[in-house]
Amino acid sequence: MTFCNMKPKSGNRFRVCGTPSRTGCITCKIRRVKCGEEKPCCKRCTSTGRKCDGYAPVKPSDGSRKSPSSPAKYPSPSPNLDPAEQRLLYFFRTFTAPKLSGYFSPDFWECRVIQATDFEPAIRHAAIAIAAVHQDYVGWQQSKVYDPSIQSFAFRQYTKAISYLYQLMSTQTQHLDITLTACILFISFDCLLGNHESAIIHLKSGLKILEDIKVKKVPGGSSAHEWEREFSPLLLSLGIQAASFANPRQRVDRLALWVALKNAGLSAQPTRFYSLDEARHALNTLTADITADRTAAADRTMDRQSPHPRSNEGLRHIAAMQAWSETFEIFLLESMPEDRTIITKHDLGASLLKLHSLIFSIVIETPEPSHKKFDEVLAHCEFLIAAKINSPFPNENLNFTATMGLIAPLFFTVMRSPNRAIQQRAVDLLSRSPGREGTWDADDALRIAGETAEAAGYYQDFDPPFFSVSGSMSPQSEVGMKSFMEDRMIWPFGEKYHPDLTHRASMVHE
């Protein structure tokens, strides 16, 4: 999944008939085209948006047949799993991986990870752990019964995965791709359970590997740089959300984390996008750049105030965000399908990216022009929620992803919107968007936003009522979660309050 170096289709024509490579991937064999044979997913498939179905085991020639006692070249899929592990691994492959891919490329979750679960115990048990969290969440939404044994099972799988990864790293020299894959799964697991400190530890490890690849401290040649291009977008996307919950009192560590995320992004903003994933990576890079600058500026002044929108740095941030928006609009025009009557995954992904860019723009601009953007924010949220509700597939409206989706933007809108009508619309949409998106849980966000707004006198007669604790939390942890979010709610750009909205600072008290 090399988002940042995707190129437009060349004028070269490739043969579409003839004998395909014997060692090519299954998809290229079916299409009868030459396969690049990159592992685990070939570039011929991924660069054209196709799903690579992987590689079949190589059959030995007649002259080199193995005896019945010889071990197979590839181990049988998912060996030595108990029934619960087998069931959850199936659940991951069938339901969880597509949910985690969301509206974007399936190459990582549905190709690399699923293939690795057959042969790498660390990846297999990490995937089972995430599937257990997912199944537990779906069960809670259906029955409202909290089962602590499922989380205990998930943590045992998570511990197994870490143990297997340590074994792999101690016995062999070069497994950066497996290490980075496991790192992304660990971050996802921790974020989905609200283990912010642990998620940041894994995030730092992954970013350190990427940095070592960049400065050529690790062997691997061209493969290492392919891994950098593949894993940087994933780590950056996960890292932006995890780092937003970093302890603001640990100023030095927090700034260092944002700088590391900035370094993991693109060295320069593209002047043209060729896929949604490339546009997403560019937007995440811009987010990390701006957040690192704003965090450094706030630390320099020691008053937690970010650059004023009319300062030189503030104007540069606004111009960069506008440039991204213009480039994205051109991409959407160029990629618009002829049939506009059907809503596609591409349409939904584009709407989500527009939503995120609008929120970022609101934060860095002056209040006056940003106020009218809240209507656009809610329009995109309404479009995305309606598409999920109208889906014929079961539980499609139940979000489950490790990265930012709708919950954080809607929470932000409730807390920062300029009038009551917009606030009420945002809360209503939040109540119709159940799910867990990384560190965000819709029920928790809805309850906390409602309590905070009501305490400030905004919703004394609000209807409908705010929901209670979500299935991911025991009642004893509810107070702690509320305190944690109020103390660290610094999403998305680092400041704990807006200079013009100090009357709402009770949400994020020191």
Taking phi over 0 as left and psi of -120 to 50 as alpha, with beta for the rest, 221 belongs to left
Q: Is pLDDT above 50 for 480?
A: no
Q: What was the pLDDT predicted at 36? A: 75
Structure confidence by residue, pLDDT tens digits, 161-196: 999 999 888 876 668 889 999 999 999 999 999 888
Higher-confidence position of 233 and 229: 233
CB 122 within 8 A of CB 83: no
Could you tell me what percent of the chain has a pLDDT over 70? 70
Looking at residue 34, which CATH number applies to its domain?
Answer: 4.10.240
d(CA 426, CA 159): 39
CA angle 257/260/264 to nearest 5° reads 140
Return the bridge partners of 441, or none.
436
Q: What was the pLDDT predicted at 186? A: 97
Q: What was the pLDDT predicted at 60? A: 39
Torsion of CA 160, 162, 164, 166, to 10 degrees: -150
Query: What are the contacts of 427-434 at 24+ separation with CB within 8 A?
Result: 427/453, 427/459, 427/462, 427/466, 428/464, 429/378, 429/381, 429/382, 429/385, 431/464, 431/467, 432/385, 432/389, 433/381, 433/385, 433/388, 433/397, 433/399, 433/406, 433/407, 434/141, 434/397, 434/398, 434/399
Q: What was the pLDDT predicted at 308? A: 64
Sheet with 435-437, side-by-side order of all strands: 399-401, 435-437, 440-441
| pLDDT winner (highest mean) among 377-386, 482-491, 492-501 | 377-386
d(CA 58, CA 60): 6
Q: What was the pLDDT predicted at 124? A: 97
Label residue 477 by pLDDT band (50, 70, 90): very low
Q: What was the pLDDT predicted at 3? A: 31
CB-based contacts of 264, cutoff 8 Å, min separation 6: 207, 210, 211, 232, 235, 236, 239, 288
Mean pLDDT of 304-327: 82
Residue 180 lies in a domain: no
CB 127 within 8 A of CB 85: no
Label residue 18 by pLDDT band (50, 70, 90): very low
Among candidate residues 418, 411, 488, 421, the one with its CA nearest the CA of residue 452: 411
Return the bridge partners of 435, or none.
399
Model-wide pTM > 0.85: no
Residue 16 lies in a domain: yes
Residue 299 lies in a domain: no
Q: Is pLDDT above 60 for 67?
A: no
Q: What was the pLDDT predicted at 22? A: 59
Residue 373 lies in a domain: no
How high is the mean pLDDT of the chain?
77
Q: Is pLDDT above 80 for 397?
A: no
CA angle 379/384/385 to nearest 5° reads 100
Which ranges of 265-372 would DSSP assign to H, the alpha helix? 276-301, 312-334, 345-364, 367-371
Q: Is pLDDT above 90 for 462?
A: no
Structure confidence by residue, pLDDT tens digits, 307-317: 666 678 888 99
Among candidate residues 154, 145, 147, 149, the one with its CA nearest the CA of residue 126: 154
d(CA 270, CA 46): 20
Residue 388 lies in a domain: no
Tracing tokens 């979000």 back to the chain, one arrives at 399
Q: What was the pLDDT predicted at 352? A: 97
CB 493 within 8 A of CB 294: yes
Mean pLDDT of 116-136: 95
Q: Is pLDDT above 50 for 8?
A: no
Q: Is pLDDT above 50 for 154?
A: yes
Q: What was the pLDDT predicted at 452? A: 62
Structure confidence by residue, pLDDT tens digits, 436-446: 998 888 988 88
| pLDDT winner (highest mean) among 141-145, 309-313, 322-326 | 322-326
Label residue 243 by pLDDT band (50, 70, 90): confident
Higher-confidence position of 247 and 259: 259
Residue 14 lies in a domain: yes
Q: Is pLDDT above 70 for 475?
A: no
Residue 360 lies in a domain: no
Cα 492 to its chain centre, rounded Å, is 15
Higher-confidence position of 444 and 38: 444
Q: Is pLDDT above 60 for 260?
A: yes
Mean pLDDT of 394-417: 86
Label residue 65 by pLDDT band (50, 70, 90): very low
Number of domains in the chain: 1
Which ranges of 365-469 would DSSP assign to H, the alpha helix? 367-371, 373-389, 407-416, 420-431, 442-455
Q: What was the pLDDT predicted at 147? A: 80
Higher-confidence position of 506 and 374: 374
Range of the domain at 33: 1-57
Higher-confidence position of 74 and 453: 453
d(CA 262, CA 217): 19
CB 119 within 8 A of CB 76: no
Q: What was the pLDDT predicted at 457? A: 55
Residue 65 lies in a domain: no
